[in-house]
Amino acid sequence: MKQLWAPWRMEYIKSDKSEDCIFCSLPREGDDTKNYILYRGQSAFIIMNIFPYNSAHLMVSPFRHFGCLTEQDTSEIMELNQLTHKCIEILRAVINPDGFNIGYNIGKAAGAGYDEHVHCHIVPRWTGDTNFMPVLGETKVHPEHLKTTYKKL
C-alpha cells in the first residue's frame, strides 16, 4: 500500500476553526478580493483555497448551507456542475495544467474540513508536481503568491 503524506496541511488542521462556516461567512462579507472569491453565480460561487494542495486549488460551493449532495435542489446541482466546468476552462486558459483532481469530501471521515457545507475541490495537477519537498522538507512549494494567482484567474 502506498502512502500519501501532506504535512503542509498541518497548519490548517491545527488552526482555530471559527464557529462560523467560511462558505457562509466569506460571501456575506462582500470583499471578494480579500476572501479570494473569483466568481458569484445565483446559487453558488468559486473561491480559492487558502490552504491549497496545489497552486490555483479552487473550490465551488453553494451559498446555501447543507452538508450532502443529496440535499441539493435542481438549480444547485446544475450551477455547481457549471461552475466546476468554468473552473476547468479558466485554469486551462490561465495556467495550463496537465490534469485535475476534482471531488467532494462528504463527512469528517472522508476528510471534509467543513463537513456541514458541501463544496467541490478542483485541484490542477502537473506531471511530476509531487517531489521531495513536501515529503522530506515538510514544505509545499507554490510557484507564485496566492494574490498573484487570484489576479490571473
Catalytic residues, by residue number, are: 119
Quick one: cell of 78? 446544475
Quick one: cell of 1? 500500500
Burial class (CB in 10 A: 0-12, 13-18, 19+), 11: exposed
Q: Which of 57, 42, 54, 51 is nearest to 87 (CA)?
A: 57
Helix (H, G, I), strand (E, B) or coil at 6: coil
The sign one gets for the Cα dihedral 130, 131, 134, 139 is: negative
